[in-house]
Amino acid sequence: MKKNKIIIIGGGYAGIRALEKLSKDKFNEIILLDDHPYHYMQTEVYGFIANENDFSKITVDLFTLCASFGSHVAFHKQKVTSIDFDAKKVMTDEQSYDYDYVIVAVGSRTKFFDSIIGLKKYAHGIKALYRALYFKQKFELSLFNKIEEEGTYCKALNIIVAGAGLSGVEIAAQMASFSRDFYKENNFLCRKLTIVLIDACERILPGIDDFLVAASIKRLLELEVIIKDNRKVIEVTENSVSLSSGEVLPMDFMIFTGGVEPKELVYDLDVLKDRRGHIAINEYMQIEGYENAYAIGDCTAIYNDGILVAPTADVAEQMAELCAKNISNSSKNKKLEKVIIKSRGILIALGRGYAVGKIFGFYVDGYLGYLLKKVVEKVYSKRLFLRSGRGSKKIFSKGA
């Protein structure tokens, strides 16, 4: 029986889940391509920035992970430069690959709007690991500098979080919680820390359940986070942020989570896209016009009953599972299944020991919500770390 040559582009949540599912069939010959050698668990970045997790807890080595599945799966650290869908070829900065099926799962990146003066120069994103690492280091250095001010002039530290979706809310809450505990536990007097959460929408967490929004606002206010919704950022300088309301806020550093856009590869692909530049897919997750090409995760636009589905790790994994099933069905000349995305729940981390959420129709908050979120994260990461460990043993045993 002829083996299926499958190329997966992107080692994020969607790409890894598709790999896990497709690797179960030994007749699939799979190559994972990514220009980074690690899987970045971005949903846990809120804890990383606030020192709850270290660097090793939010990354998984892709070489060892792929080695764990067997000889029919390989990882190549290469940057994909183009895809010829007609010739069924993927081109990288090193070589080209023929495929029977290709999955585009490259995710997205922070969009620094050109219309906002100074945004790209002075703000930081967290979609890329190196940006999150830089922000974490700068945040910790700022806390250290405040310790140095102890007993002398105590200048306020002003942090701006622009974008009050899930990432922005979690990061603002975690930084507020961490810094509050840090200063109180060490009995430092210099505690002038101000965190301002800004969003252009009429309320924070747009598209999220009203109960969860209300619970999140209550918790943020308890943490003394200042919420400024229904305001747009219009200009950023080295030490200030100007809003559409006319307010000018002092700023020591700023994190921007207010927009995402497709990565460079997606921009360059000659395929149908939506108005935001995301790849248009049909009801089977195939790229429009190409039955052997699929796109999943944040690089796509997916709708349920005409409503755009928010890009989350859960949605990306559901897409990946169905994509893998449809590739399997296609290779066996079976009927493909239509995309149906169902919410399996949402959990929002709001500082140390606190989260709110809705799981299978039931609301949770406080420490119980926190425990559930940690369990979900632990189950995911533990699975990958165990696999990566097995892959590492395989690699070293071959070299012995």
Residues 6+ apart with CB under 8 A from 311: 108, 260, 297, 298
**Domain stop point among 220, 240, 256:** 256
Beta bridge partners of 251: none
**287 and 174, same structural domain?**
no
Helix, strand or coil, per DSSP, at residue 295 = strand
Last residue of a domain, one of 344, 374, 389: 344
Cβ(111)–Cβ(261) under 8 Å?
yes
Residue 363 resides in a domain = no
Confirm whether 61 is domain-assigned: no
Strand partners, 299: none
Number of domains making up the chain? 2
Radius of gyration of the chain (CA): 22
Q: Are residues 309 and 235 in the same domain?
A: no
What is the Cα 170 distance to its own chain's centre?
13
| Domain of 13, in residue numbers | 4-35+78-109+260-344
For residue 204, the one-letter residue type is I
Kindly state whether residues 265 and 252 are assigned to the same domain.
no
pLDDT for res 273: 93
Residue 355 within a domain: no
Clarify whether residues 236 and 129 are in a common domain: yes
What is the pLDDT, as a whole number, of residue 310?
Answer: 75
Amino acid in the structure at residue 254: M
Quick one: 101 and 200 in the same domain? Answer: no
What is the pLDDT, as a whole number, of residue 104?
A: 98
| Cα–Cα separations (whole angstroms), residue 212 to 223, 290, 357 | 16, 40, 7
Q: Are residues 142 and 237 in the same domain?
A: yes
Instruction: Identify the pLDDT of residue 50.
Output: 72
* Whole-prediction pTM: 0.92
Tell me, yes or no, whether 137 and 241 share the same domain: yes
Instruction: Report the CATH number that the domain containing residue 229 is assigned in CATH.
Output: 3.50.50.60
Q: What are phi and psi of 374, to 5 degrees?
A: -65, -40
Q: For position 151, what pLDDT does the model report?
A: 56
| pLDDT for position 185 | 63
Q: Return averaged pLDDT per consecutive 10 residues of the chain, 400 residues in all.
A: 92 97 96 97 84 85 97 97 97 97 96 94 89 84 72 74 94 88 63 87 90 96 96 96 97 91 93 92 95 96 76 90 97 92 88 92 94 93 95 81
**The pLDDT value given to residue 143:** 72
Q: Do residues 25 and 49 lie in contact, with contact meaning Cβ atoms separated by under 8 Å?
A: no
CA distance 76 to 285: 25
For residues 142 and 175, membership in a common domain is answered with yes
DSSP 149-164: TTTS----EEEEEE--
One domain, residues 87 and 181: no
Q: Quick one: 252 and 124 in the same domain?
A: yes
pLDDT of residue 256: 95
Instruction: Kindly state whether residue 229 falls inside one of the protein's structural domains.
Output: yes
Say if residue 339 is in the same domain as residue 270. Answer: yes
In single-letter form, the type of residue at position 400 comes to A
Note whether 213 and 268 are same-domain residues.
no
The domain boundary residue, chosen from 295, 317, 344: 344
395 falls within a domain: no
Note whether residue 300 is domain-resident: yes
